């Protein structure tokens, strides 16, 4: 069989796709040819690596600083050129019907292309593998029978233990060939999930690809139910943007924001596996903690207080409070230089101050500009009286003690942390600036019952750090990055959106989330609102509805909660063909832990990772029960390995994570662990949607009505 063999391809494809190494496929000449290309590509990659290793930089660098920079660049390149045995060099092939035009081909010529994670060329510079992000590769993800994009053949390759063992062909321009679903995609989705998150380059779906490749200048917001690939899409989008706009983003920077450290740890391998080593990751708390003059967070707010602190109206309160430091001058300023005295009258100073207030520049920038403005007024007088002062004179006047004194009185420096401290401790000061914005109750919720003595001794909560960050930005502009990916965005407060928005004010953002998974008291109700706070109201909102994680039966069960927790949201349509399993087991009150441990033991008989998810308050009891049964377990974020596969997951940390088999302990405890029922049910929805292959729910207390009444399945 050859690439252009008229043999019935569906059969050939199916046979080939399901074939494994060591079977008759070893004699398949086509597979042999593809393996030969793989070996030749590997050899070419080795040669590329050796070329870089052999580089002698002694003659080209003028000094040691340049040499050090160049050396580290070379080291990175050597790392990027490593041939990783567990990541195949290419995963697909495209045979175009015609030679591809120069614009799309970029670094590749001809009509046949092998698509892989990186570009590989032979000794003559001819391409052997094309980067998946190159324009010519896009058809691999987008071409269809309906719109073949000039692709005659799309071939997907299957690997077993690093060996090329299977392929699957689609003759897109052949009207007689039936459309069939990809077995390799199914195999990839169903592969056990041990270890950190993996890349999905080989199987990105068309609707995902559109988001991945959307331009750098626009912001995108993706709403998608659990397991629809939002995180995967966000990470691949970063990889794509770095490829398409490498120089610009190297200058401006990219950042991925996730909900907590264990989640960030779970996703941190994806970009390095795609050759991108430079992307930073942070939580919102870490982000604001890194701004200048920040405080140490040691306190916790009540939900009611945190909601007020996170409300966008706080930005206006802070703005008023910052600007309240400006007082209009009532006295003239007298500058003495040599034998002469120059007087700027109060009304002229007032004009300067009013002009700066009206220009809406940052408070700190105006503070820095005012001395120069006053000096300019003095210079005008000097010129009028026949002197010819230059810039140095203006600078000297600006530094004159009389000018400094008037600036200090009129436009004093503001310390953001001290300002927030005063707002939260001084009822009159707060009332003055919150008037017409916050109710008396809201103001009371903000005030510390026992005001701290100083910034250092205050028990700052994380919402306070966000307020300080806002105040910081009112004083001096926050540095903006080129692109920010914000994952699990539904959980941010308006003030947190503003904090993230500042970090991409001159760049763009990818916002990923699911309104139904919002579990903070301030979780966003609509994307339009969230994007407004982020400062990207024009971002395109896309929806992903195909689910790649949760089996059909399990997602259907979890979706019974949707009408209560997020009416109007589309239920995820699972693309998983394997049926998966769902079991709901009621047990006697005293037998809960034993039943849970038993379910973990059963799950461990399967391949892959196991997550035991429970209400946070239940974790100590379950940890003890696992220990008593000699079942070692990990904490979320700790990497599962072939020997250590069971993780005990507090429900509050389950978001974004996934396990092959999930045992869910006592759903009603997960719900009652939250301040209100809707948040509790949303937390439960998150917990119910972490399973890739099977979910066992164990309960001693009645299940929430939404799950129970509608459920006529295998309970018991």
Ligand X SMILES: Nc1ncnc2c1ncn2[C@@H]1O[C@H](COP(=O)(O)OP(=O)(O)OP(=O)(O)O)[C@@H](O)[C@H]1O
Q: At closest approach, how far in Å is the CB of 490 from ligand X?
A: 9
Rounded Cα distance between 82 and 103, Å, is 29
- Tell whether residue 232 is a contact of ligand X (CB under 6 A): yes
For ligand X, which residue of 150, 311, 514, 660 counts as binding (CB under 6 A)?
A: 514
- What phi and psi, each to the nearest 5 degrees, are found at residue 461? -100, 170
- Tell whether residue 329 is a contact of ligand X (CB under 6 A): no
- Tell whether residue 656 is a contact of ligand X (CB under 6 A): yes
What number of CA atoms fall less than 13 Å from residue 136's CA on the CB side?
29
Secondary structure of residue 570 in the 3-state scheme? coil
Rounded Cα distance between 231 and 198, Å, is 11
Length of the chain in residues, anyone?
716
Number of residues that bind ligand X (CB under 6 A): 23
Cα–Cα distances in Å, from 85 out to 20, 157, 158, 592? 18, 15, 14, 44
Secondary structure of residue 51 in the 3-state scheme? helix
Where b means 16+ CB within 10 Å and e means fewer, 334-362 reads: ebeeeeeebebeeebbeebbeebeeeeeb
> Was 225 annotated as part of a binding site?
yes
Q: At closest approach, how far in Å is the CB of 677 from ligand X?
A: 21
- Tell whether residue 482 is a contact of ligand X (CB under 6 A): no
Q: At closest approach, how far in Å is the CB of 528 from ligand X?
A: 20
> Was 229 annotated as part of a binding site?
yes
Tell which positions 681-700 bind ligand X, by CB under 6 A. Answer: 689
For ligand X, which residue of 658, 660, 665, 674 counts as binding (CB under 6 A)?
A: 658
Q: At closest approach, how far in Å is the CB of 308 from ligand X?
A: 28
- Tell whether residue 259 is a contact of ligand X (CB under 6 A): no
> Was 228 annotated as part of a binding site?
yes
Identity of the residue, 96 or 659, whose beta carbon is nearer to ligand X in the bound complex: 659
> Was 598 annotated as part of a binding site?
no
Q: At closest approach, how far in Å is the CB of 224 from ligand X?
A: 5
Q: At closest approach, how far in Å is the CB of 131 from ligand X?
A: 18
**φ/ψ bin of 302: left (φ > 0), alpha (ψ from -120 to 50), beta (otherwise):** beta
Secondary structure of residue 156 in the 3-state scheme? strand
What string of DSSP letters covers 275-310?
Answer: T----EEE-HHHHHHTSTT---B-----HHHHHHHH
Secondary structure of residue 154 in the 3-state scheme? strand
Q: Which range binds ligand X by CB under 6 A, 223-231, 417-425, 499-507, 535-543?
A: 223-231
- Tell whether residue 208 is a contact of ligand X (CB under 6 A): yes
Identity of the residue, 18 or 545, whose beta carbon is nearer to ligand X in the bound complex: 545
Q: At closest approach, how far in Å is the CB of 228 from ligand X?
A: 4
- Tell whether residue 205 is a contact of ligand X (CB under 6 A): yes
For ligand X, which residue of 158, 226, 636, 694 counts as binding (CB under 6 A)?
A: 226
Residues 228 and 547 sit within 8 Å (Cβ to Cβ): yes
Residues 113 and 97 sit within 8 Å (Cβ to Cβ): no
Nearest CA among 662, 642, 665, 668 for reference residue 581 = 662
Q: Which residues contact 104 (CB under 8 A, 6 or more apart)?
A: 135, 136
> Was 702 annotated as part of a binding site?
no
Tell which positions 141-200 bind ligand X, by CB under 6 A. Answer: 188-189, 198, 200
Rounded Cα distance between 115 and 161, Å, is 19
Q: At closest approach, how far in Å is the CB of 581 from ligand X?
A: 18
Tell which positions 542-601 bind ligand X, by CB under 6 A. Answer: 548-549
Q: At closest approach, how far in Å is the CB of 511 from ligand X?
A: 12
Identity of the residue, 460 or 685, whose beta carbon is nearer to ligand X in the bound complex: 685
What string of DSSP letters covers 637-704?
Answer: TSPP-SS--EEEEEGGG-TT--EEEEEEE-HHHHHHTSSSHHHHHHHHHHHHT-EEEEEEEEESSPPP
Binding mask 72-111 for ligand X (x = CB under 6 A): ----------------------------------------
- Tell whether residue 203 is a contact of ligand X (CB under 6 A): yes
Rounded Cα distance between 666 and 591, Å, is 12
- Tell whether residue 486 is a contact of ligand X (CB under 6 A): no
Identity of the residue, 187 or 289, whose beta carbon is nearer to ligand X in the bound complex: 187
Nearest CA among 388, 452, 380 for reference residue 423 = 452
For ligand X, which residue of 127, 229, 494, 551 counts as binding (CB under 6 A)?
A: 229
Q: Could you tell me which residues are annotated as the binding site for ATP?
A: 224-231
Summarize as ranges the residues that interact with ligand X (CB under 6 A).
188-189, 198, 200, 203-205, 208, 224, 226-232, 514, 517, 548-549, 656, 658, 689
Q: Could you tell me which residues are annotated as the binding site?
A: 224-231
């Amino acid at each position: 069989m050859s690439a252009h063999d008229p043999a019935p391809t569906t059969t050939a494809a199916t046979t080939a796709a399901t074939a494994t190494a060591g079977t008759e496929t070893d004699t398949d000449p086509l597979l042999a040819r593809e393996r030969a290309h793989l070996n030749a590509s590997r050899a070419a990659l080795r040669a590329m690596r050796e070329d870089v290793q052999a580089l002698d930089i002694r003659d080209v660098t003028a000094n040691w600083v340049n040499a050090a920079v160049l050396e580290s660049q070379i080291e990175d390149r050597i790392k990027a050129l490593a041939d990783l045995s567990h990541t195949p060099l290419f995963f697909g092939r495209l045979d175009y019907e015609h030679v591809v035009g120069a614009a799309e081909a970029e670094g590749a010529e001809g009509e046949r292309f092998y698509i892989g994670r990186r570009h590989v060329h032979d000794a003559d510079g001819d391409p052997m593998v094309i980067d998946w992000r190159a324009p010519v590769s896009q058809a691999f993800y987008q071409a269809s029978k309906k719109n073949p994009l000039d692709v005659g053949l799309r071939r997907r390759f299957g690997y077993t233990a690093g060996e090329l063992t299977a392929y699957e062909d689609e003759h897109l321009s052949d009207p007689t060939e039936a459309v069939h679903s990809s077995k390799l995609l199914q195999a990839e989705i169903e592969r056990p999930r041990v270890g950190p998150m993996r890349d999905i380059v080989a199987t990105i779906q068309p609707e995902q690809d559109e988001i991945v490749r959307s331009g750098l200048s626009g912001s995108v917001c993706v709403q998608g139910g659990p397991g629809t690939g939002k995180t995967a899409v966000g990470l691949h989008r970063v990889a794509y943007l770095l490829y398409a706009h490498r120089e610009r983003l190297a200058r401006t920077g990219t950042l991925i924001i996730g909900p907590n450290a264990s989640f960030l740890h779970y996703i941190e391998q994806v970009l390095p596996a795609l050759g991108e080593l430079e992307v930073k990751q942070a939580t919102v708390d870490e982000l604001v903690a890194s701004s200048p003059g920040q405080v140490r967070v040691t306190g916790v707010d009540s939900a009611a207080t945190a909601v007020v602190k996170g409300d966008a109206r706080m930005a206006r309160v802070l703005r008023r409070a910052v600007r309240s430091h400006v007082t209009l001058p009532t006295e003239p300023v007298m500058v003495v230089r040599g034998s002469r005295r120059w007087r700027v009258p109060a009304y002229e100073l007032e004009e300067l101050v009013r002009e700066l207030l009206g220009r809406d520049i940052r408070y700190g920038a105006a503070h820095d500009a005012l001395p120069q403005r006053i000096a300019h007024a003095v210079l005008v007088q000097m010129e009028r009286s026949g002197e010819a002062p230059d810039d140095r004179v203006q600078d000297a006047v600006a530094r004159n003690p009389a000018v400094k004194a008037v600036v200090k009185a009129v436009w004093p420096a503001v310390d953001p942390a001290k300002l927030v401290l005063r707002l939260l401790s001084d009822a009159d000061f707060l009332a003055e600036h919150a008037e017409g914005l916050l109710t008396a109750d809201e103001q009371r919720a903000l005030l510390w019952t026992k005001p701290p003595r100083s910034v250092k001794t205050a028990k700052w909560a994380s919402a306070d750090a966000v307020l300080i960050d806002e105040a910081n930005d009112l004083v001096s502009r926050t540095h903006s990055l080129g692109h920010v990916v914000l994952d699990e965005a539904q959980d941010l407060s308006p003030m947190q959106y503003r904090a993230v928005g500042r970090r991409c004010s001159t760049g763009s953002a990818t916002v990923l989330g699911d309104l139904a998974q919002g579990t903070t008291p301030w979780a966003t109700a609509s994307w339009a609102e969230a994007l407004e706070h982020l400062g990207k109201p024009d971002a395109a909102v896309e929806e992903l509805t195909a689910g790649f994680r949760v089996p059909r039966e399990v997602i259907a069960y979890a979706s019974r909660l949707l009408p209560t927790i997020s009416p109007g949201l589309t239920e995820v349509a699972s693309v998983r063909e394997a049926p998966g399993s769902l079991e709901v087991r009621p047990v006697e009150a005293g037998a809960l832990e034993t039943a849970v441990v038993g379910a973990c033991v059963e799950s461990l008989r399967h391949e892959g990772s196991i997550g035991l998810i429970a209400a946070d308050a239940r974790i100590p009891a379950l940890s003890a029960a696992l220990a008593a049964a000699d079942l070692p377990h990990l904490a979320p974020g700790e990497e599962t390995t072939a020997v250590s596969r069971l993780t005990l997951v507090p429900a509050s940390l389950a978001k974004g994570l996934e396990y092959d088999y999930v045992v869910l302990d006592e759903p009603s405890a997960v719900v009652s662990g939250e301040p209100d029922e809707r948040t509790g049910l949303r937390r439960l929805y998150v917990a119910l949607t972490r399973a890739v292959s099977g979910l066992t729910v164990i309960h001693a207390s009645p299940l929430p009505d939404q799950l129970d009444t509608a459920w006529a399945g295998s309970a018991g």
